[in-house]
């Protein structure tokens, strides 16, 4: 699973340079802080990257240090060149299981097997291609409004922003950990009590396509997963996992790190001959809660376990 905010400074283009005046009250403050206040529709991370890429000038002088102190009264010129934008992929008429939609948000129940974002080996047939067909105007939003991902073979709920303002708000919510996500997972072995895994996650030091528990001193990022036992079977356990952070493959890595890899996980586990065969990691994003960017109200959605996981559990009962 990959639920990190997918921020990329080079994915949004301003049609013309913006000229902004630094308020006198902002004297002594950092450039990135002032930009975030003057351009609240953009996250500070995006603005910091624009500064580093030479897209911001102070009184006509291009700068590259987001922490530069301002005196008040300066003119800021913000320009993002067209070639810095992530060009939209081709729209494709791919059916979507839409759980909720309004003029701000789109909540999708993603099936297993659907790639979220085009990439190596998957340049078409993705959720992004489907979004560009379903909401043509979303091409004007970075990454077609996608703010977090689910692995190809993980099913369940995923929120998409229809506007730049909503996307920025959701990215900030993800960073502030106010987006609540619960997953259903079948973990190998018997787990008898609720607990959590608090262990940093980073790129595997040897197998670079994998993630692993890695000390923060070696590049790992803080990661916390809570799990609750729902049902115990002979050789596996149905758990509900709640994320406090959203690192790549977080649940898969954390459960494997305590000796309970997910059933069917081809990367972090291995086939157990005592269990029925399963073609993917048994992981489903079942519940999603957040603050609606437009109304400010807490909203939550829930979808049931998909058919393949239900069938697997029925076999465990047999």
* 140/132 Cα distance (integer angstroms): 10
pLDDT, tens digit, 9 for 90 and up, residues 228-277:
999 999 999 999 999 999 899 999 999 999 999 999 999 999 999 999 99
pLDDT, average across residues 306-312 = 98
* Of 4, 151, 169, 265, catalytic: 151
Q: How far is CA 116 from CA 68, 84, 150, in A?
A: 37, 22, 7
Q: Which residue has the higher pLDDT, 40 or 280?
A: 280
User: Does residue 14 carry a pLDDT above 70?
Assistant: no
pTM (whole model) above 0.85: no
The candidate with the shortest Cα–Cα distance to 127, out of 105, 104, 151, is 151
pLDDT of residue 119: 67
**Lowest-confidence segment of 32-46, 157-171, 218-232, 296-310 by average pLDDT:** 32-46
pLDDT of residue 230: 98
* 165/42 Cα distance (integer angstroms): 7
pLDDT of residue 3: 46
Homologous superfamily (CATH) for 98-317: Pseudouridine synthase (3.30.2350.10)
The candidate with the shortest Cα–Cα distance to 76, out of 31, 27, 114, 9, is 31
pLDDT of residue 220: 93
Q: How far is CA 226 from CA 71, 198, 288, in A?
A: 46, 9, 15
Q: Where are the domains of the chain?
A: 18-78, 98-317
Handedness of CA 171, 250, 106, 293 (dihedral sign): negative
Q: How far is CA 118 from CA 56, 194, 223, in A?
A: 30, 37, 26
Residue 47's pLDDT band (boundaries 50, 70, 90)? confident
pLDDT of residue 86: 47
Q: Are 219 and 235 in contact (CB under 8 A)?
A: no
Q: Which residue has the higher pLDDT, 102 or 14?
A: 102
Q: Structure tokens of 102?
A: 């309004």
Mention every residue, 6+ apart, whose C-beta is less than 8 A from residue 95.
130
User: Does residue 182 carry a pLDDT above 80?
Assistant: yes
pLDDT of residue 208: 74
User: Does residue 87 carry a pLDDT above 90?
Assistant: no
pLDDT of residue 40: 74
Is 151 known to be catalytic?
yes
Instruction: Convert the chain into a string of H (helix), E (strand) and C (coil).
Output: CCCCCCCCHHHCCCCCCEEEECCHHHCCCEHHHHHHHHCCCCCHHHHHHHHHCCCEEECCEECCCCCCECCCCCEEEECCCHHHCCCCCCCCCCCCCEEEECCCEEEEEECCCCCCCCECCECCCCHHHHHHHHCHHHHHCHHHHECCCCCCCCEEEEEEECCHHHHHHHHHHHHHCCCEEEEEEEEECCCCCCEEEECCEEECCCCCCCEEECCHHHCCECCEEEEEEEEECCCEEEEEEEECCCCCCHHHHHHHHCCCCECCCCCCCCCCCCCCCCCCCCEEEEEEEEECCCCCCEEEEECCCCHHHHHHHHHHHC
Q: Do domains 18-78 and 98-317 have the same CATH topology?
A: no
* 216/227 Cα distance (integer angstroms): 23
Q: What is the mean pLDDT of the chain?
A: 89
The candidate with the shortest Cα–Cα distance to 32, out of 58, 60, 8, 12, is 58
User: Phi and psi for 138 in degrees, rounded to 5?
Assistant: -70, -10
Residue 16's pLDDT band (boundaries 50, 70, 90)? low
User: Does residue 91 carry a pLDDT above 70?
Assistant: yes
pLDDT of residue 11: 33
pLDDT, tens digit, 9 for 90 and up, residues 108-118:
999 999 999 87
pLDDT of residue 257: 98
Residue 305's pLDDT band (boundaries 50, 70, 90)? very high
Q: Of how many residues is the chain composed?
A: 318
Assigned CATH topology for domain 18-78: 3.10.290
Q: 276 exposed, middle or buried (CB, 10 Å; 0-12, 13-18, 19+)?
A: middle
Count Cβ atoms below 10 Å from residue 226 Cβ, excluding itself: 17
Residue 49's pLDDT band (boundaries 50, 70, 90)? confident
CA angle 225, 226, 232 (to 5 degrees): 120
């Amino acid at each position: 699973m990959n639920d990190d905010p997918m921020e990329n400074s080079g994915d949004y283009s301003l049609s013309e340079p913006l000229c902004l005046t630094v308020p006198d009250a902002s004297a002594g403050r950092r450039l990135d802080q002032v930009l975030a206040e003057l351009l609240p529709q953009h996250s500070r991370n995006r603005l910091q990257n624009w500064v580093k890429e030479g897209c911001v000038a102070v009184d006509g002088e291009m700068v590259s240090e987001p922490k530069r102190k301002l005196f008040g009264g300066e003119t800021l010129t913000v320009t993002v060149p067209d070639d810095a934008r992530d060009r939209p992929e081709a729209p494709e008429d791919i059916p979507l299981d839409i759980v909720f939609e309004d003029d701000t948000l789109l909540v999708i129940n993603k099936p297993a097997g659907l790639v979220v974002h085009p990439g190596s080996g998957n340049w078409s047939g993705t959720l992004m291609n489907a979004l560009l067909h379903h909401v043509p105007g979303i091409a004007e939003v970075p990454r077609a409004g996608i703010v977090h991902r689910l692995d190809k073979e993980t099913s369940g709920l995923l929120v998409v922003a229809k506007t730049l303002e909503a996307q920025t708000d959701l990215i900030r919510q993800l960073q502030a950990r106010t987006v609540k996500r619960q997953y259903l997972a079948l973990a190998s072995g018997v787990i008898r009590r609720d607990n959590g895994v608090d262990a940093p996650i980073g790129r595997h030091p040897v197998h670079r396509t994998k993630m692993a528990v890695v000390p923060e001193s070696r590049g790992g990022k803080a990661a916390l997963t809570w799990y609750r036992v729902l049902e115990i079977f002979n050789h596996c356990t149905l758990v509900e996992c709640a994320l406090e952070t959203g690192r790549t493959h977080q649940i898969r890595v954390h459960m494997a790190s305590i000796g309970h890899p997910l059933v069917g996980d081809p990367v972090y586990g291995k086939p157990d001959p005592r269990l029925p065969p399963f073609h993917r990691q048994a992981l489903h994003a079942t519940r999603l809660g957040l603050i609606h960017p437009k109304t400010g109200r807490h909203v939550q959605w829930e979808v049931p376990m998909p058919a393949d996981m239900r069938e697997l559990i029925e076999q465990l009962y047999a």
